Structure 1
Amino acid sequence: MKVLKFAAFALGGLAALLAAAVLYVAITFDAAKMKGELKRVVQEQKQRTLDIEGDVDLSFYPNLGLKLGRTTLSEYKSADRFAQVESARVSVAVMPLLSGALVVDEIRIEGAHLTVVRLKDGRFNFSDLLSDDSDESSPVKFDVAGLKLATSSLAFRDEATGASHALDDIELTLGKLANAARGKMALSARLQSSAPAIDSRFTLAAAYDYDLPAQRYALDDLSLKVDGEALDLKSLKVTLGAAHVGVLDGGRLEVKKAVLEASASRAGDALGLKLDAPALQLAEGALSGEQLTVNAKLDARARSADVTLRVSGLEGSADAVKAAGLSLDLNARMDDASLKAALQTPLALRMDGPSVELPALAGNLEASHPSLPMKTVKLPVKGSLKADLGKQSAAFELDTRLDDSTIRLKLGATRFDPLALVFDVDIDRLNADRYLPKSADASKPAGNPDDAPVDLSALKGLDARGSVKVGELQLSGIRMSHVKLEVKAAGGKVEVAPFSAALYKGSASGALNLNADGNRIALKQTLSDIDIHPLIRDAAGKDLLEGRGNVAIDVSTAGGTVGALKKALDGSASLKLRDGALRGINLAKSVREAKAKLGGGGESAVQKASATEKTDFSEMSASFRIQKGIARNDDLAASSPFLRLAGAGSVDIPQSTLDYLAKVTLAATSKGQDGKAAADLRGLTVPVRLYGPFASLDYRIEFGDLLKDAARGQIEAQTQKLQDRAKDKVQQQVGDKLKGLLGR
């Protein structure tokens, strides 16, 4: 490793330099003259100012040594400080010098402060101090018994980026240093950084064993501890331990029994991480290792997660890595919801993308929530995943079963930043109602459902397109088949078009548009040749209408709550049915009862809708204009062989109420519903008002209008009789006169 090699050379050179200085001073020692000479040489050769403020002491027993007081070195051609040492002492064994060997007993440096700056042009502020004629083929031989650095600091500043980093309170102790040596080391310091934001203290201890000529380096019993803050992590604590970390000749890397543990808090959440690597080897570009285990934990008031990742059969190179087995165990909670997962797959990882592939993903997912009717949903998983970060692409395929539903999902990413998705969903059958929350218990107090918020803001960041197919679908009670829809989402808008399905002996087609800008919703829907009775019964649980025909809806709305959406509803709707019935009332029967009451001065009476009564019709049509949640109709028309019905009224959608007045006139036929009994009532028009909340509709015969109509009819009938009698009398008189004129 070149860095360690250069460091060793530097330490050897430093030791040789200090030893040479000791010899020189021992022979010709003149402190004042030495200070001046060193200052002159540094100024002339390096254009820097060297200032030795303290004393220079020479010692000869027990070893030859030199001690320097406070010394500073300036920046290049500047008075600003580059480096400073409060005191330094070096001692050299005398006897080895006589045989030409350099043995330094100890180097002690206190209060060393160094500022490293990377200039905007990429050069460093110490570049001028480096020699270009170093000969790596002839390494310096050195032998230092120990090195101690105390109360020191190292600062780094990057003028191009503005980033700054600092190591303060440095305490470093090293054992024997030589071309090949073994010893123990201890390092502690405080690390502060502006980008990324870091303020932490750390300690490092290890036993080292290295051989520079053989290019062998090893650390045993490694222990690293970190305590402080980093990024947005508070109370950060990190420990790293390893029995052995070594780099052997040829660059072979060995790691044995490495364990990393970390804990921190983030915005009140407790975080934990543990990594266990029993053995890893990287030799000649080939990677191998035993099972690698990573565990991550999150613990908070409203959420928690426990994730364990295991990698086994690890092999590969610096360019590509494979694992025979990758397993994931997940146990997560969010409020009352929980998710458990157990997944396994092989792994293929390439560094040139980088790219990752999980070719055979298998396992199980389990989701739980109190609002789910079955409380817990279990999903078997079978699929694959490919992702290439360089190409910003990903593809995910999943086959699973949800109860009796077979689901096939294809999900892809065509861009990661910002994320753009494509998808294809194919489901053979799905009862969505089985997994939707149940209605609130009527015995328990509940909030107004109209106050439920509706927020489409999540659509603003969505970029997706795809299709969904469902063979058989039940949603909100409505049963459909051959469901197909296309979805496009971009720019805060979602368009579901076209949409088609077969339902209730007919078909449906239409489009749905959602817009996050203003929380706007628009729907166009056409139901063709449907059987409306089972549709209304399944959707609303009401027995209101029978018949086959068409229904068209074109509406739009906007608002932040369900109630606001209802109140802002605008658009139109139309209905045209055949061969059906209006359920809940027998109009012929009601008309007959109304006629009986005419003679007795009957008053209007309320009649509840009855599940056993109905009024048949051969055709019915109506159109609605919808404004601010109120649907108004004035062209209701229905007919059958025995009656004609016309009406007008309104539907208050926000209040879920109806107010309708229908006028029923019996046709001049005795065939049809109620037969001969109805024939006695032909020509009579009866007003019937339908009103009340959707949940409890009432019918009422408007006898006041009925009596007025009946009286008006009697007057018209008497007037017609008088007119007929007068006409007959005039005709008779004219005839008599003519007879007299003719003499007959």
Structure 2
Amino acid sequence: MNRYLRYALIVIALVTVLLFGLIIYFAIILDPNSYKPLLAELVKEKNQRELRLDGDITLSLFPRLGIELGPITLSERNSNVEFASAERILVSLALLPLLRKQLELDEILIKGLKANLIRLKDGSINIADLIAKSEETRQFKLNVGRVATEKARVTFSDEESGRHFAFTDVNVEADRLGARPGLSASAVRSKVKIGFTVGHSEATEVDLGTTLAFDLTLDVDKQYYAVQGVSLESKGQLPGISQFMLNCTGDFVASVPSESVTAEFMASDVAINLTGIRGLSNLDIKLYMPRLSLANEKLGGDKISVAAEMSGHEGKLNVNARVSLSALEASVSGLRSGALLVELEAVKNDWTIHTMLESPFSSNPTTWQLNLPEVKGVMHARGPGLANPGIDGALRGSVAIDVESRNAQADFTGQFADTNIKAKLMASAAVEPSLIFDVNIDQLDLDRFLPPAQPPGENLEKKGNAYAFEQWLDLSALDNLSLEGSIRIGLLKTANSRSSGLSLAIRSN
């Protein structure tokens, strides 16, 4: 062996032995518990919180240098009220990085954590002082290999709304991943897994078991942040919904390249599936968003599609709905879509109604106005209470909605069989639900919309069909609606008789 190499190895061995000897020596002669008053005073001075260490602080040398403490309690800021507590906290430390002024923690394990998060009435959170960025220069670079919590409990209270939620059995695992090309040396990459149960203090029907996993990348130097490979699953019950299940997957990336360029955001392959049982009906809602980007205060996307299905037992109303927004563009001035498409199919007993509406769509976030300037729609209705082959219709028009004032206005023309209709509608929910309308019909043949005459022996079946039609409509929701308007019919045909120039004025009490 080369003589100089042999000497170098001997020196390294001596330094290593000396280093471990010093560590063992200080571990023997030093009592870490003597520093508890100093730690409490430091927390009091920097954060105005009371730190209480009820248990002993113990040091371990093998297999890694570590420290264990607990039970530990931390108060609210400028208060004796408890903010958080933990049964045990274990920290293991890597030695060699200390020589490079790097504080490398192999693992941080927190057992039995209890924390109370509060959103105050002024909008701030009671942990703002703990997460605020320190202005002091750090002499050591901190790296953490693994962070884990076991059986934690976190409560969240909103003083403004009065809502309280509890997250129980919270288990978190965050393991550091290796470096990736293109990121700075200070970037943090972790694989995170979280599991918890959500409950509401006043609503016992809120009970959700949730698991969440994702890869997290934080690069502060390059201002690049990513949450990729998201996998969320939540099961349980919500008010009015049992056997609730939510699944979500997707990737989310945000970056701020420089101070002169605004934030960039990208969401891709986002899929959300929600199922559950509401009453006697099964719910199934799916959302898919292949790409949505935000850059230089402009938003763009390929398509957002939502499909919803509500199905029940035989004789119950089954509804299938599909909504999609294509060619999305948005800026600070508003959101626009080249095509908003809405399809709705409702089936009950032998009745079927299918409608489809499409229109360009625009909205203004400043005035809270939604506009559908070129609405085109078709409708098909089939059922035993209608003459064969049923009712087919089409309409064109426009719709404007003012969300802030809770008003809506529609102007359209339509055709059903040989009937042409022009109508104007104004709806409001500002004070109480109301509808003002003005309808013009050129001719209306009611016999065309009624089933053929039934033989005397089949009157009972006809009455049953009429009852089924009334039950299908279920207009009980209109009981509290204020109606005012007029209907004018140029020619009315019914029961082999004709009437012309009819004008009806309708006004609810």
1:486 paired to 2:500: no
Work out the CA distance in 1 between the residues paired with 2:27 and 2:377. Answer: 78
User: Do the aligned partners of residues 124 and 331 (structure 1) sit closer, same or farther apart at CA in structure 2, a change above 3 Å counting?
Assistant: closer
Determine the structure 2 residue equivalent to 1:150. Answer: 150
Work out the CA distance in 2 between the residues paired with 1:121 and 1:254. Answer: 31
Work out the CA distance in 2 between the residues paired with 1:380 and 1:262. Answer: 33
Q: Deviations over 1:41-89 (max 9, x none)?
A: 6568877554333332112344332111322234567665321111111
Determine the structure 1 residue equivalent to 2:490. Answer: 471
- Which aligned pairs between 1:321-340 and structure 2 lie closer than 5 A? 321-340=335-354
User: Do the aligned partners of residues 294 and 46 (structure 1) sit closer, same or farther apart at CA in structure 2, a change above 3 Å counting?
Assistant: closer
Determine the structure 2 residue equivalent to 1:264. Answer: 276
User: Do the aligned partners of residues 228 and 327 (structure 1) sit closer, same or farther apart at CA in structure 2, a change above 3 Å counting?
Assistant: same
Amino acid at match of 2:271: V
Conservation of the 8 A alpha-carbon contact between 1:90 and 1:107 = yes
User: Do the aligned partners of residues 326 and 465 (structure 1) sit closer, same or farther apart at CA in structure 2, a change above 3 Å counting?
Assistant: same
User: Do the aligned partners of residues 229 and 456 (structure 1) sit closer, same or farther apart at CA in structure 2, a change above 3 Å counting?
Assistant: closer
Structure 1 position 30, deviation (Å)? 1.4
1:401 to 397, 415, 431: 415
Work out the CA distance in 2 between the residues paired with 1:458 and 1:183. Answer: 52
Determine the structure 2 residue equivalent to 1:286. Answer: 298
1:380 paired to 2:381: no
Q: Structure 2 stretches of 5 or more lacking a match?
A: 1-22, 178-184, 257-261
Q: Structure 1 stretches of 5 or more lacking a match?
A: 1-21, 494-744
- Which aligned pairs between 1:292-303 and structure 2 lie closer than 5 A? 292-301=304-313, 302-303=316-317
Work out the CA distance in 2 between the residues paired with 1:444 and 1:141. Answer: 89
SS in 2 for 1:373: coil
Work out the CA distance in 2 between the residues paired with 1:211 and 1:269. Answer: 47
1:275 paired to 2:283: no
Determine the structure 2 residue equivalent to 1:181. Answer: 188
Amino acid at match of 1:193: H
1:193 paired to 2:209: no
Amino acid at match of 1:484: S
TM-score by length of 1: 0.57
SS in 2 for 1:444: helix
Determine the structure 1 residue equivalent to 2:105. Answer: 104
Work out the CA distance in 2 between the residues paired with 1:346 and 1:39. Answer: 63
Work out the CA distance in 1 between the residues paired with 2:44 and 2:253. Answer: 43
Work out the CA distance in 2 between the residues paired with 1:393 and 1:343. Answer: 21
User: Do the aligned partners of residues 335 and 397 (structure 1) sit closer, same or farther apart at CA in structure 2, a change above 3 Å counting?
Assistant: farther
- Which aligned pairs between 1:618-629 and structure 2 lie closer than 5 A? none
1:426 paired to 2:420: no
SS in 2 for 1:291: strand
- Which aligned pairs between 1:58-207 and structure 2 lie closer than 5 A? 58-75=59-76, 80-118=81-119, 130=130, 134-135=134-135, 141-176=141-176, 179-194=186-201, 198-207=206-215
2:384 to 343, 356, 370: 370
Work out the CA distance in 2 between the residues paired with 1:174 and 1:368. Answer: 57
SS in 2 for 1:207: strand
Amino acid at match of 2:275: S
Q: Deviations over 1:152-202 (max 9, x none)?
A: 111122345432111111111112289412221111111112577632111
Work out the CA distance in 2 between the residues paired with 1:457 and 1:341. Answer: 22
Deviates more, 1:63-72 or 1:225-234: 63-72
Amino acid at match of 1:275: L
Q: Deviations over 1:299-352 (max 9, x none)?
A: 012110111122211111254111111222222113332211222211112222
Work out the CA distance in 2 between the residues paired with 1:169 and 1:90. Answer: 21
Percent of residue pairs identical: 29
Conservation of the 8 A alpha-carbon contact between 1:143 and 1:179 = no
SS in 1 for 2:234: strand
2:370 to 335, 339, 356: 356
- Which aligned pairs between 1:27-46 and structure 2 lie closer than 5 A? 29-39=30-40
Determine the structure 2 residue equivalent to 1:237. Answer: 245
Structure 1 position 484, deviation (Å)? 1.8
User: Do the aligned partners of residues 121 and 321 (structure 1) sit closer, same or farther apart at CA in structure 2, a change above 3 Å counting?
Assistant: closer
Conservation of the 8 A alpha-carbon contact between 1:192 and 1:199 = yes
User: Do the aligned partners of residues 259 and 487 (structure 1) sit closer, same or farther apart at CA in structure 2, a change above 3 Å counting?
Assistant: same
User: Do the aligned partners of residues 133 and 91 (structure 1) sit closer, same or farther apart at CA in structure 2, a change above 3 Å counting?
Assistant: closer
Q: Deviations over 1:546-598 (max 9, x none)?
A: xxxxxxxxxxxxxxxxxxxxxxxxxxxxxxxxxxxxxxxxxxxxxxxxxxxxx
Conservation of the 8 A alpha-carbon contact between 2:273 and 2:286 = yes
Work out the CA distance in 2 between the residues paired with 1:262 and 1:467. Answer: 43
Work out the CA distance in 2 between the residues paired with 1:353 and 1:199. Answer: 38
- Which aligned pairs between 1:643-722 and structure 2 lie closer than 5 A? none
Work out the CA distance in 2 between the residues paired with 1:132 and 1:257. Answer: 33
Conservation of the 8 A alpha-carbon contact between 1:287 and 1:318 = no
Conservation of the 8 A alpha-carbon contact between 1:272 and 1:297 = yes
SS in 2 for 1:446: helix
Amino acid at match of 1:230: L
* Greater C-alpha Rg: 1
Amino acid at match of 1:201: G
User: Do the aligned partners of residues 137 and 214 (structure 1) sit closer, same or farther apart at CA in structure 2, a change above 3 Å counting?
Assistant: farther
User: Do the aligned partners of residues 429 and 122 (structure 1) sit closer, same or farther apart at CA in structure 2, a change above 3 Å counting?
Assistant: closer
User: Do the aligned partners of residues 349 and 488 (structure 1) sit closer, same or farther apart at CA in structure 2, a change above 3 Å counting?
Assistant: same
Determine the structure 2 residue equivalent to 1:210. Answer: 218
**Total equivalences in the alignment:** 464
User: Do the aligned partners of residues 186 and 45 (structure 1) sit closer, same or farther apart at CA in structure 2, a change above 3 Å counting?
Assistant: closer
SS in 2 for 1:290: strand
Structure 1 position 379, deviation (Å)? 0.5
Amino acid at match of 1:350: N
1:220 to 228, 237, 260: 228
Determine the structure 1 residue equivalent to 2:266. Answer: 254
Q: Deviations over 1:477-530 (max 9, x none)?
A: 5411111222222xxx2xxxxxxxxxxxxxxxxxxxxxxxxxxxxxxxxxxxxx
2:360 to 341, 346, 349: 346
